[in-house]
Structure 1
Amino acid sequence: MPQDCLRPAAPSISLLHNKAGNYRLLPGGVAHCPGIVPDEGFEVVRVQLQTWLPLDQGYPFIEAYLKSVGRPVQAVCGTEMRVPAPLTRKDWSDFNTPYREQLRRWGLMYGDLSGVCRSNIALADHAPETASLCAFSYTAPTASTEGGFCLTGSADIAQDGTIIADGDTSPAAMQQRARYTIDAIGARLIELGLSWKDANQIVIFHVHEIPDLFGEKLLGGLGESLRQGVVVYRARPPIAGAEVELEVRGARRDLIVANTFRG
């Protein structure tokens, strides 16, 4: 498996503590961590950009925004990106190199492991011309007893790097791919001491039809978690050959901000 692909942390692995950013994280990937939970007295805030920014402009935007709200850059716990098209394995590794360097400058790498969740999606319709930042998450003080969480999206790629049902987009294969992502997210929630009931938004990305997606064997089996609906995009994971990605969000505040913001 390429070392920059997400590997769910084993249950025996303890959470790392980002003291400056006020959250604990599951170690597991060199480009993105599987998930985070905020410290007591803090919550996850998600900021969606009204207009996306190329990554080289997105990083300083994050810095300026966090400074304006009195939070250190180490409070970043999630980034959401959109790429022009799925990447080959080599291009994927090349893409991650400058990103990891940025995280290291922010003090968000733990040795060779990333301390930040990430979503990275290739849209099938109206894709950006260059890799772009569309949203990010950070931790902030709260009086609430529930701080939420942030997770990295799960694609239909096994722990050893094998693509589930590789090369097959038949109805049965698409169901198998979707099932894998649901199981992977469910396991990650358990590792963080959470459940599907803690989620406030489910997002799925796919292009080929997934028959009976809302049936009991797939999303329908999540029960009350579906009360707030499911966001569906015509899109794929960022690695060529993958066809389904699932995200589960748990931010306690969700904001939309104009990209003209300069602090």
Structure 2
Amino acid sequence: MSTAPFAPGGYRFIPAVFQYSGGVAAEPGFKLVRARFRNPIPLKDGFAAIAAHLSAMGRPLTAFAACELRSPEPFSEEGFVAFNRIYAGTLKEWGLFDGTTNPVARSNVCPEIAPPPEPSFYAFTYTVEDAAAAPSFQVAGSGEAREGFATYREATVRYGETGPDALREKAQYVLGEMERRMAALGFTWADTTAAQVYTVHDLHPFLAEEIVARGAARGGLTWYFNRPPVAGLEYEMDCRGIATELVI
């Protein structure tokens, strides 16, 4: 993996797919700030709220670096593509997406209980200028789908299986992907301030050996009883190293 600069935002990113990047890190002279909404806000209203917040902070729209979404239920593969094109349309209007490359990292998951009625923003991350800031980063969410396959069914580790051994193998893949993305950005688990996992399945059989032992829970582990965004995926994670976080 390699990274590319996004100078208008003051951060660098891991190029990935049109709907999101693999992760972001603040460039020298900037830091990342994460803001969580008290309650998820529907996509259109969320974009408006984010724009207003950035304006109040004296930051351009291009400072938008990452977001965390909540959706009503897992998408079909076709539905996920259609949703992503709507989402990416606003990023294009904001000068973030050039039609091919998207620098903004993202997680998009589906609460199993009391989901929102429509896709909504849960949190977002942006850059601010700070000459004395420590390095900061955010890795995009990843489920157990490997790259380079035509369909999720082909790409997914132990597709259709949810037994303890299958879930351990899925977690191993996702944890490895977190480590690969952090390494590309220049970080390790030792640099994280938070790790988040999204699954409706039992973590305990592999929690100590696969997650805690490798340092992935050094700041604790936040478990959301959510499903990944595409039907057939069962386990997702993201992580970050951010010193300043807000609730708005």
With the shorter chain as reference, the TM-score category is over 0.9
Q: Does 1:27 align with 2:15?
A: yes
Q: Of residues 158, 161, 166 in structure 1, which corresponds to 2:159? A: 166
Q: Does 1:220 align with 2:208?
A: no
Structure 1 segments of 4+ aligned residues over 6 angstroms from their partners: none
Query: Any residues of structure 2 matched to 1:1-263 within 5 Å, and which?
Result: 11=1, 13=2, 15-159=3-147, 160=149, 161=152, 162-216=155-209, 218-223=210-215, 225-257=216-248
Letter in 1 for 2:201: H
Q: 168-177 or 110-119, which moves further after superposition? A: 110-119
CA distance in 2, matches of 1:54, 1:226: 31
Deviations 1:49-82 (A, max 9, x none): 0122110101111111100010001000001110
CA distance in 1, matches of 2:53, 2:136: 21
CA distance in 2, matches of 1:92, 1:128: 17
The percent identity for this pair of structures is 30
CA distance in 1, matches of 2:135, 2:51: 22
CA distance in 2, matches of 1:139, 1:145: 11
Q: 23-32 or 137-146, which moves further after superposition? A: 137-146
CA distance in 2, matches of 1:175, 1:92: 26
- Contact 1:171–1:211 (CA under 8 A) maintained in structure 2: no
List runs of 5+ in structure 1 lacking aligned partners. Answer: 1-10, 258-263
Aligned residues: 243
Compute the displacement of 1:146 (Å). Answer: 1.0
CA distance in 1, matches of 2:213, 2:17: 28
Compute the displacement of 1:213 (Å). Answer: 2.7
Deviations 1:202-247 (A, max 9, x none): 111111223423222x102323x52321001111110000000011
List runs of 5+ in structure 2 lacking aligned partners. Answer: none
Letter in 1 for 2:234: E
Letter in 2 for 1:81: L
Compute the displacement of 1:111 (Å). Answer: 4.1
- Contact 2:192–2:219 (CA under 8 A) maintained in structure 1: no
The residue number in structure 2 matching 1:8 is none
CA distance in 1, matches of 2:50, 2:113: 26
Deviations 1:70-121 (A, max 9, x none): 0001000001110000000000001101111111111111441211000100
- Contact 2:190–2:218 (CA under 8 A) maintained in structure 1: no
CA distance in 2, matches of 1:180, 1:38: 26
The residue number in structure 2 matching 1:4 is none
Compute the displacement of 1:154 (Å). Answer: 1.0
Deviations 1:127-185 (A, max 9, x none): 11111111100001124341310111111111124111111111111111111100011
Root-mean-square deviation (Å): 1.3
Letter in 1 for 2:158: A
Q: 19-28 or 67-76, which moves further after superposition? A: 19-28
CA distance in 1, matches of 2:103, 2:36: 20
Q: TM-score, normalised by structure 1?
A: 0.89
- Contact 1:74–1:106 (CA under 8 A) maintained in structure 2: yes
Cα separation, partners in 2 of 1:145 and 1:255, compared to 1, 3 Å? closer
